[in-house]
């Protein structure tokens, strides 16, 4: 259920960025979400679409790029990935691992339609 709160954060950050930089029509917002970040992508996309209605971002589509969960093993010095978010090296079975990715959630980029400017 915190997807609505996260979507509000995205909308606020983009609104602020658009206003500060006087940007044209935003057509997409790309975010990176770790597969073990606890976010339901569909809920986040739904919340985003509901929030941007009748705002500057009404034409914006939320693109959610998922990042796999990956760890670095301090024992065998190899990287590995598992979809369950376990702190476990799949190569040697060690649990002495550092998380490399899969828990993040941040905005990556926005795309804008500059057609209006090009015509001018």
List contacts with other proteins (CB under 8 A): 1-2, 5-6, 9-10, 12-14, 17, 21, 23, 27, 31, 36-38, 84-88, 95-96, 99, 103, 105-114
Closest contact distance (angstroms) between CB of 64 and other proteins is 11
Nearest residue (CB) to other proteins, 17 versus 79: 17
Q: What's the CA angle centered on 13, arms 115 and 111, to 5 degrees?
A: 25
Contacts for 71 with CB less than 8 Å, ≥ 6 apart: 79, 80, 81, 82, 87, 88, 89, 97, 98, 99, 100
Closest contact distance (angstroms) between CB of 49 and other proteins is 16
């Amino acid at each position: 259920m915190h997807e609505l709160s996260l979507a509000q954060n995205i909308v606020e950050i983009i609104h602020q960025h658009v206003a500060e930089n006087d940007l044209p029509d935003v057509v997409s917002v790309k975010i990176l979400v770790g597969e073990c970040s606890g976010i339901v992508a569909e809920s986040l996309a739904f919340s985003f679409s509901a929030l941007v209605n009748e705002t500057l971002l009404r034409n914006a589509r939320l693109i959610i790029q998922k990042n796999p969960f990956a760890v670095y093993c301090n024992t065998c010095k190899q990287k590995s990935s598992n979809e369950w978010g376990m702190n476990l090296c799949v190569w040697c079975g060690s649990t002495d691992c550092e998380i490399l990715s899969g828990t993040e959630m941040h905005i990556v980029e926005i795309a804008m339609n500059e057609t209006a400017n090009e015509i001018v």
